[in-house]
Every structure is written in structure tokens, then in C-alpha cells.
Chains A and B, each alone.
Chain A
Amino acid sequence: MCHGPTPNPGDGGSVPPVSDPILPFLAFDVVALLLLGRFASLLPLAACGFVAAALCGLGALLCLPPLLLGLPPTALALPVGPPGLSLHLALDPLATAFLLNVFLAGTVISAFQASSVPLTKLASVQTSALCLAGIVCSLIAADGVSLAIGIAITCGAMNGPRHRTLMLPLLVLTAVCLLTPAGFAPGFEAIGAAPADPNHATAAGALALLAVAGLIRLGWVTPDPAKADAPERCWTRDALTAGALLPFTAYLLSRLLLDLSGTAGQAWFGLLLLLAGGAAAVADSWRAAADPDIVSAIAALIRRQAGLAMTGIGLALVARAADLPDAAALALQAVFLMAIGGSLAGPLTLLAAHAIGASAGTYRLSRLGGLVHTMPATSAALAAGLLALCALPPSFGFAALWLLFQSILSAPRTGGLPSQLPLALTAAALALSAALATTASVRLIGIALLGRPRTPRGSGARESQSPVRTILLTLAGLSLAVGMLPGATLWLLADPAIRGLTGVPQARPALLAASGAAQGYVALPVLALIALATGVGIMTRRSLKEAKIAGLWADGMKPPAGLPFGEPAAQSTGAGFLPALPAMKLPWMPRMPRLAIVVPARPPSAIAGLWLVLTAFGLLLLVLAATG
């Protein structure tokens, strides 16, 4: 997708003049968000959220013309950095599609910050502004250094541990350098002009995968069980991760593995991605179906989308290696659909869960219940978001699953059994993950929102304020619209990017159909069929209003005296659906040693030595890649 004149050695590639004012405006938007994050304390707290929402909304509007009018990619060289290594920005269809998602999520989160009562803390406003600035900077970056700077800003804003703040941008920069031809600066244009070495592409892919795993882990912090009922949670961080960071990880993998690696990406690496993504999707959906905490369960359900996106990118790699562009396009359509829908439904569910937790005073499922009576609008929005995330038609989750299965149908043409077996296992993982996600959504809706209140505090929950309700219901409507019109959504927002990555012209915008087949999945007629049959069912029960209201009949027993809500403990608490997934301790990077000028009294530890080896290895890779 990086097209342009042949670059000159020693330069970052010849950059076309700025033919479009949108890119400079986006750069100014990044600077404004950075300034807001740094100097938010100078503004009134309520104004910070509005300013951030306005900046993100402006960014989203700026993304629309390139997407809707199909404007050509533009580039901008910044006069920053040493000669020949100056920073470059670019706006191409791949970046624009993800930029729109991130800006939309940023607008919603900032508006929620401005309208929530009590107002969000200053630190959270700063976190969201800086994080969004970093992600947008990375999305419009056209060279490795700019990309790394954006990721460093994001890591710093998310208050990650210092070693991760340093290591993740370093990993990404090393990956870009590995893909850069010898003698060139690590610019995307130079990389696109020359085919990458397959071994370098594989090493870059492995580093990108590590960086993505680190970013996902950076965003989600496992809550301390001892603080599970803590009233204050960092919901900003959770919503940012769901709405902006997870789509960004999909962008990072698409950019490094599919765009910059070109055709050098190896099929076995795609198979590895398939298995890793499938395993992550199953594990996360299982956690969502078993977790006793509503926010943790929703977070796991959203992380499942990241696993599915990884599977989609793996499928695209495998299909491209087997010269099956149609199958690659289907897999990428699924990735884009999950990114677009996830950036809407992810923040929606987390913000609604936050509103519920703040009003009901707890996030534990076993203490919630009956909220559909006290918080109807918030409950409806949460239910819509959860149904959009699971794999039931006409949600976007089902459309994405359908596309992934369509891509797997090309498996017989990918080669021998060693490459087909992972595809069969991926199909099993997708099916299991879909069933688990549906169970998780039903459990969350049934336990938290339906039934009777389990605690007096829960029965005293109050509906969210009007602005918050408006935000949540708008998001719910958009999430459902993406599911009902998946073909149109992809055609409007992702078609140029998918065409650029696969070379397949996309047809039938309103019909989500397998290429070359007359049949396909069309959400609206399916919805119409369900609605028609449901309408007939309701008409046969036309006496809904005539229904005789009776007292609680709990298996023929009246509620005990003194318990007006019946016996709340008798209701299901959601613990019996599935057993908890056994915790798995994964080896992770060592903790950062304290660096001091003074020679320490005790000798350096083994952890410090391991850290030193890792850093030296990264630097060595960087030097080797830069010198060719």
C-alpha cells in the first residue's frame, strides 16, 4: 500500500508534496491532545472532557472525506530529526479506517468523562488525552521512529511499568528496521518499494506479535480480588483499551505483517497466529462465562475479539501465501468488522457496566440483579452491547464469525495436511468460542440485569443521567447498525484498505457474500424473518396487557416474611454456568532493575543480567537492521 517513487539511499524515501490539508490538521490534532494531556490542570475539569471530545470529533470528521471520496494517500515530512532520518507522517486507507474507529471511541469516552457525575478525575482525563494522542500519532506514522514515539506515548500514558514503556516501542522499531532494505532509513515508503527478506519478515512478525501481546497486557490490568468491590475503578483505562488500544493492535499486526512485509510473510507464521488467536479467543470467552465480576467478564469478552482478529490476520497470511486473495479478503473483512464494531460495543459495555457499578455500589454479579427495572435505559444499552459482541445474528460478531468460516472454507486449497490441520483446529476454536461468548452474554444479562434485586443497595440503584443515557443509547444503536449492515459498513470504511492489502476488488456492498457464490449472509432479511415470525408470535399472545399479575410463585412457595423481594439468595448467582478457568502463569519480562550511578553495595542480580541481555539483543538487532 506504500506506493510512490523509488526512494534514494540514505533518505527516508522521496516524499510527495502535501496535496491534502487533512494530514496537517490531524497532526495538529495530535499536538492539541498532547497539550491537553500535559496542561489539563489549567482548565476547569468539566471543560477538559468537552475539549477532548471536540478534538476527537474533529479528527473523526477529518477521516470521513478520504474514506468516502476515496482520496489518494498523502504524506508529510516533518522537519524533526537528523538529516535523512526526519519523521514522516502519512494517511492511507489502512490508517484512515482505524483512525476513524479510534477517534469515535475517543469522542465517546471524552464525552462520558465530561458528563459523568461526579466528574472524572484529572488524572483520568490526562490519561485518555495522552493515550489517544499516542495512538493517533502511531496510526499516521510513516516511519519506524514516529511509530515507536506514538507507542511510547501510549505506554507512558497508560502508566505501564517502566520496562514495558521502553521495551514495546523498541520491539516495534526493531521490527520496522528488520523490514527496511539495507542503506535506507526505516520509512514505510522505502520498505514498500523493495521486497523484504522472508526471514527478516518472520523475525519482524515475531517481534510485532510480542509487542501486541505486551500492549494488550498493558491495557488490561487484572483487578485485585481484594478490591473487587472498590467503588473507584479505572474505567477510563478499560474503555480506552477496548475502544482504541485493541483496534490499534489489529492495525499494528496488519501494517507489519500484511502491508510492510508484502508477500514475504510466511505461511507457517500465519498458522502460528491462527493457533495463538484461537487459543486466546477460547480462553477469554471461557473467562467471560465464569468470572464473578461484571467488568472483568466484559473485559474478557472484548479481549476475545482481539483473539479473533489475530486469527483473521493469520488466515489472511495463510491465504495470501497460498495465492488465495479472495480468502484473504474475507479474513480481512472479518478483522475490520471486529475492529469497527469492537470500537463501538467495547466502550459501550464497559461504560454501561461502570454506570451500573457506580449506581448499584458493586461490580459483583452475585450482588446485582433486577436492574432492568431501576435502570432501564442503561440496562438496554448494556444488553445491546453484549448481544453485539456475541455470535448471534444480526450482530456484527456473527457477521465476523461468518466471514472467518468462509475464509476457512478455502482450506482444502492451502496445501497438505500439516497446514490444514491447524485450520481444522481453528474452526473448532471459533465454534467453541462462539458458544462460550453467547453463554457469557446470556449469563451477564440474566444475572446482572434480570431477575430480582439481590441486595437493598441494588434495588436502590438509579438510572444514569440524561447525557450518559444518550451516549450509551447512541453507541448501542451504532453497534446494532454495524451488525445489520455489515456489507455497507465494510464498503464505506474498509474497502479501499482491503483492496490495497489483497488486490481483490470488493463487490456487492450491501451483500455480505462469499466471492463467486450466489448465496451469502444478509443480515437484514434474516432480521426481517425473525421479526415477522416474532410478530406473529406476539399477535397470538395479543393479550399481553390482559395478563393476570400474580405474586411470586417460587415453586409454589410464597416469599418469606420480611423479604419483600423473595429469597434473593435462591436466585442463580452465575457461578454455576461454567467452572473457572485454571489460572496459567506465563513467563513474562523481568522487572526493571534500579539504575544508579553509585555502585550498589550488593552484586547485580540475575534479573538485572537477564534484562541487560534482552536490551543488548534488541540494540544489536537494531544496529544490524539499520546497517543492513
Chain B
Amino acid sequence: MSIVLALLTQLLHIGLMIFAAPTVAGGMDWLDARWSGRSGPPVLLPWHDLLRWFRKTPMLTDDVSIVSRLAPAVGMGATAAAAALVPSFALGMALSPLADGLVVVSLLTIARAAAALAALDSGTARSGVATQQASARAVLAEPALLLSVVALAVMAGSFNLQVIIVQQREGLLLPATASAVCLTAMLALLFAEVSAGEANSDFHAGRALAVARMTGWLRRLIWVDLIGGLFLPAGMAAADAGPLSWLTGLAAWGLKLGMFMVCLSASQKLFGRIARHSLPDVIGVAALLALLAIIMALASAGTA
């Protein structure tokens, strides 16, 4: 029975992630507009855009290779796989033994690499330059995220996300200062990711554009889920606790998502987006903070 429940929560989780990604994007746009005193676009506008792009006839340049044809799907596949592994409202889902922090980070890297290859395959100058800049940023951002995961894993003794979340919920993820430093690093990375904007998809059209946009929205939702799960695990339900408990978990997850959306858009309104030339500085600081968190975790364990 518990296997069936674990499978059900997993399917529900995947469905919710797919549904929530464009909705959260629409909500963010609406909030941004409201902070500026405008009425704002409809929250479900991304869904309308997706439908519109899906109805269009796909277009490809005549000299692109199979890479351009498959890259959006591969990027979406890797991101969806990462989304399936990051817990949202429940713990103990069917895929939780595979939910390794390093694997999740690497799946996001696969999506980034697929987008970069598609951009280079298009053979245009603008996409090439955008790919170079994105790759240079990723050289700092990916190690920073990896180091954050390593810091949490050193404290928890495992890279498994569920193990880390359970220890965080029970107050066993010590020292708390290292955890707080890690949270700061990941928030800085999220802020930099949002400020960098969506990946260049000028060379996509029609359904490919829809898939590429959906990948970007899902990626942002994974970030929010990762931070919410790792540092604010309150209210997460157990998969084998039954549907009533799931409802509590769903309510808590919805609350966390709403809170993140408000905080993120408010901080963007207050501080403005980070300038592109300042992004490496912010990401570098995040990497140093993550390294500091590892050292703090090790030092604490050595003196314990």
C-alpha cells in the first residue's frame, strides 16, 4: 500500500510542478506590474502563450543539425527529471531514493548544456555571444550551487535531499549558522538567476519556443522548491500518511510558493535587478559563502 501511495504522490508532484511552473511565472509578472502601479497581465497568460506557440507551424533554418531539433526536448527532459526529484509537498515519494543533490544539480547543467548547443548550432552571432556569456556565468554559478549542496550534505552525512530535509525539519542539521550561510548563498544565486533573465531563445520558433520557455519556468520553480524544501521544510507531508495529510502539505507548499513570489518580486522592486556586469561578483560571493558554509560545518564537526 505504501508503494502505491508513494507512486501516487510522485505522480501528483510531477503534475503539480508542470502546472505550477507557468502559473508561477504569470504570477511573478503580475506582481511585478502591481508593484509598479500597473494592472498587470493575466496570471494565466503564460498558458495562453504556450497554447499559441504550440499551434504554430514549427520553423527551422535549413542548415541546423539534429541537435537543434532535439535540444529543447532534451533540456525539458533533464529539467523535468530534476523537478521530479526535488520534493515539493510530500516526503517519501517513489523517486526519493534517487533524489541525490549532485544528480539534481547535474540535471540542471544538462539542460543548460543542451540550450547552449542549440544556440551554437543555429550559427548566428547573437546566440553565440549570449551562449558565451551564459557559459562564463555558469562556470561560477554551478560550483556555487554544488558547494551549497556539499555543505548541506556534510552536515547531514548524505547527499540525498530527503535525508537533508528530514534533518533540517527535526533541527538536526547543525550548525545552524552554516545552514544560514548556505541559505544566503542559494538566495544570492536565485536572485542572480532571475536577474540574468530567461535564456536566449531567439533561434526557436513555435513548439520549440514553447518547450524552451516551459523549461525556463520549470527551472525557476525547481530553485524555489529546492530552497523552500531544504531551509523551510515545515508542513511537508509523509507520502504514506494519506490524502488528508497531503492536503496539509499542499497548502503549506502553496503558501511557500506565494511567499517566495512576493518576496522575490518585492526585492526586485526594492533593489532593482542586478546589472549584467555585476552578476559575476554576486555569484562569486555566493560561491565564497558556500565554501565558508563547508568550512563552518567541518569545524563544528571537528569540535563536537
Give me the interface of A with B, judged by CB distance under 8 Å: 289, 369-370, 372-373, 391-393, 398, 401-402, 405-406, 408-409, 411-413, 415-417, 420-421, 423-424, 427-428, 431-432, 434-436, 438-439, 441-443, 445-447, 450-452, 514, 517-522, 525-526, 529-538, 540-541, 543-544, 546-555, 565-567, 570-572, 576-578
Interchain CB contact under 8 A, B60 and A550:
yes
A458 to B89, alpha carbons, bound, how many Å? 53
Write the nearest CB–CB distance from A402 to chain B, whole angstroms.
6
* B222: Cβ under 8 A from any A Cβ: no
A415 to B299, alpha carbons, bound, how many Å? 10
Interchain CB contact under 8 A, B61 and A553:
yes
Which chain B residues numbered 109 to 151 have a C-beta less than 8 Å away from chain A? 109-110, 113, 116-117, 119-126, 128-129, 131-132, 135-136, 138-140, 142-143, 146-147, 150
* B180: Cβ under 8 A from any A Cβ: no
Report B74-86 CB contacts with A as 1/0, cut-off 8 Å: 1011101100110
Also in contact, A424 and B298, with CB within 8 A (given A405-B102, A409-B153, A540-B211): yes
Q: Which residues of A contact B125 (CB under 8 A)?
A: 554-555, 567, 570-572
Which chain B residues numbered 79 to 113 have a C-beta less than 8 Å away from chain A? 80-81, 84-85, 95, 97-100, 102-103, 106-107, 109-110, 113
Interchain CB contact under 8 A, A401 and B107:
no
Name which of B19-27, B31-39, B65-73, B270-278 contacts chain A: B65-73
* B192: Cβ under 8 A from any A Cβ: no
Write the nearest CB–CB distance from B140 to chain A, whole angstroms.
8
Interchain CB contact under 8 A, B107 and A530:
yes
Also in contact, A543 and B135, with CB within 8 A (given A409-B153, A431-B150, A552-B63): no
Name which of B155-163, B181-189, B233-241, B257-265 contacts chain A: B155-163
Interchain CB contact under 8 A, B126 and A417:
no
Also in contact, A537 and B60, with CB within 8 A (given A417-B302, A572-B120): no
Write the nearest CB–CB distance from B151 to chain A, whole angstroms.
9
Could you pull out 27 A-B pairs where Cβ atoms are within 8 angstroms?
A: A370-B123, A373-B63, A401-B102, A402-B102, A409-B157, A420-B295, A420-B301, A421-B298, A431-B147, A435-B142, A435-B146, A442-B113, A442-B117, A442-B135, A452-B63, A520-B100, A521-B102, A521-B103, A526-B98, A526-B103, A533-B81, A534-B70, A534-B74, A534-B76, A547-B58, A552-B61, A578-B136
Interchain CB contact under 8 A, A435 and B143:
yes
Q: Which residues of B contact A532 (CB under 8 A)?
A: 77, 81
Also in contact, A451 and B211, with CB within 8 A (given A420-B298, A424-B298, A576-B132): no
Q: Kindly report which residue of chain A lies nearest to residue B65, judged by CB atoms.
A: A372
Write the nearest CB–CB distance from A50 to chain B, whole angstroms.
35
Interchain CB contact under 8 A, A373 and B65:
yes
Q: Kindly report which residue of chain A lies nearest to residue B297, judged by CB atoms.
A: A412
Also in contact, A530 and B84, with CB within 8 A (given A446-B120, A572-B120, A572-B132): no
* B62: Cβ under 8 A from any A Cβ: yes
Told that A514-B158, A547-B58 touch, could you supply 4 new A-B pairs with CB distance under 8 A? A409-B159, A540-B207, A555-B202, A577-B135
* B154: Cβ under 8 A from any A Cβ: yes
A434 to B138, alpha carbons, bound, how many Å? 11
A570 to B123, alpha carbons, bound, how many Å? 8
4 tightest A-B CB contacts, nearest first: A572-B128, A534-B77, A446-B120, A412-B301
Write the nearest CB–CB distance from A545 to chain B, whole angstroms.
10
Also in contact, A529 and B95, with CB within 8 A (given A451-B120, A555-B125): yes
Write the nearest CB–CB distance from A521 to chain B, whole angstroms.
6
Q: Which residues of B contact A446 (CB under 8 A)?
A: 116-117, 119-121, 131
Q: Kindly report which residue of chain B lies nearest to residue A371, judged by CB atoms.
A: B65
Interchain CB contact under 8 A, B147 and A549:
no
* B230: Cβ under 8 A from any A Cβ: no
Interchain CB contact under 8 A, A392 and B109:
yes
A567 to B126, alpha carbons, bound, how many Å? 13
Q: Which residues of B contact A525 (CB under 8 A)?
A: 98
Q: Kindly report which residue of chain A lies nearest to residue B153, judged by CB atoms.
A: A409
Interchain CB contact under 8 A, B77 and A533:
yes
Give me the interface of B with A, judged by CB distance under 8 Å: 54, 57-63, 65-67, 69-70, 72-74, 76-78, 80-81, 84-85, 95, 97-100, 102-103, 106-107, 109-110, 113, 116-117, 119-126, 128-129, 131-132, 135-136, 138-140, 142-143, 146-147, 150, 153-154, 157-160, 162-163, 202, 207-208, 211, 287, 291, 294-295, 297-299, 301-302
Q: Which residues of A contact B85 (CB under 8 A)?
A: 529
Of the candidates A392, A415, A570, A571, which one forms a contact with B110 in the assembled complex, judged by CB atoms under 8 Å apart?
A392
Q: Which residues of A contact B60 (CB under 8 A)?
A: 547-550
A405 to B152, alpha carbons, bound, how many Å? 12
Of the candidates B70, B113, B158, B287, which one forms a contact with A519 in the assembled complex, judged by CB atoms under 8 Å apart?
B158
Q: Which residues of B contact A372 (CB under 8 A)?
A: 65-67
A550 to B68, alpha carbons, bound, how many Å? 14
Q: Which residues of A contact B122 (CB under 8 A)?
A: 451
Of B66, B77, B85, most A-chain CB atoms within 10 Å: B77
A438 to B114, alpha carbons, bound, how many Å? 11
A370 to B202, alpha carbons, bound, how many Å? 20
Interchain CB contact under 8 A, A517 and B158:
yes
Write the nearest CB–CB distance from A378 to chain B, whole angstroms.
14
Of the candidates A427, A548, A570, which one forms a contact with B58 in the assembled complex, judged by CB atoms under 8 Å apart?
A548
Write the nearest CB–CB distance from B114 to chain A, whole angstroms.
9
A3 to B62, alpha carbons, bound, how many Å? 66
A438 to B78, alpha carbons, bound, how many Å? 15
Q: Which residues of B contact A391 (CB under 8 A)?
A: 106
Q: Which residues of A contact B107 (CB under 8 A)?
A: 393, 526, 530
Of the candidates A406, A518, A540, which one forms a contact with B159 in the assembled complex, judged by CB atoms under 8 Å apart?
A406
Interchain CB contact under 8 A, A409 and B98:
no
Interchain CB contact under 8 A, B135 and A443:
yes
Interchain CB contact under 8 A, B158 and A415:
no
Interchain CB contact under 8 A, A530 and B77:
yes
Interchain CB contact under 8 A, A529 and B84:
yes
Q: Which residues of A contact B116 (CB under 8 A)?
A: 442, 446
Interchain CB contact under 8 A, B208 and A541:
yes
A541 to B215, alpha carbons, bound, how many Å? 14
A223 to B151, alpha carbons, bound, how many Å? 41
A517 to B63, alpha carbons, bound, how many Å? 49
Interchain CB contact under 8 A, B72 and A439:
no
Q: Which residues of B contact A572 (CB under 8 A)?
A: 120, 125, 128-129, 131-132
Interchain CB contact under 8 A, B147 and A529:
no
Interchain CB contact under 8 A, B154 and A541:
no
Also in contact, A541 and B211, with CB within 8 A (given A431-B150, A452-B123): yes
Also in contact, A427 and B117, with CB within 8 A (given A452-B63, A519-B160): no
A565 to B61, alpha carbons, bound, how many Å? 12
Of the candidates B67, B207, B291, which one forms a contact with A541 in the assembled complex, judged by CB atoms under 8 Å apart?
B207
Also in contact, A571 and B150, with CB within 8 A (given A424-B295, A428-B143, A439-B139): no
A169 to B264, alpha carbons, bound, how many Å? 62
A554 to B113, alpha carbons, bound, how many Å? 22
Interchain CB contact under 8 A, A423 and B70:
no
A182 to B159, alpha carbons, bound, how many Å? 47
Write the nearest CB–CB distance from A111 to chain B, whole angstroms.
28
Of B76, B100, B116, B157, most A-chain CB atoms within 10 Å: B100
Q: Which residues of B contact A447 (CB under 8 A)?
A: 120
A51 to B148, alpha carbons, bound, how many Å? 53
Q: Which residues of A contact B67 (CB under 8 A)?
A: 372, 450
Q: Kindly report which residue of chain A lies nearest to residue B78, judged by CB atoms.
A: A530
Also in contact, A438 and B113, with CB within 8 A (given A373-B65, A415-B302): yes
Q: Which residues of A contact B163 (CB under 8 A)?
A: 519
Interchain CB contact under 8 A, B97 and A424:
no
Interchain CB contact under 8 A, B62 and A427:
no
Interchain CB contact under 8 A, B58 and A544:
yes
Of the candidates B73, B84, B100, B299, which one forms a contact with A420 in the assembled complex, judged by CB atoms under 8 Å apart?
B299
Q: Which residues of B contact A549 (CB under 8 A)?
A: 59-62
A553 to B158, alpha carbons, bound, how many Å? 49
Interchain CB contact under 8 A, B62 and A438:
no
Interchain CB contact under 8 A, B65 and A450:
yes
A393 to B299, alpha carbons, bound, how many Å? 31
A294 to B256, alpha carbons, bound, how many Å? 48
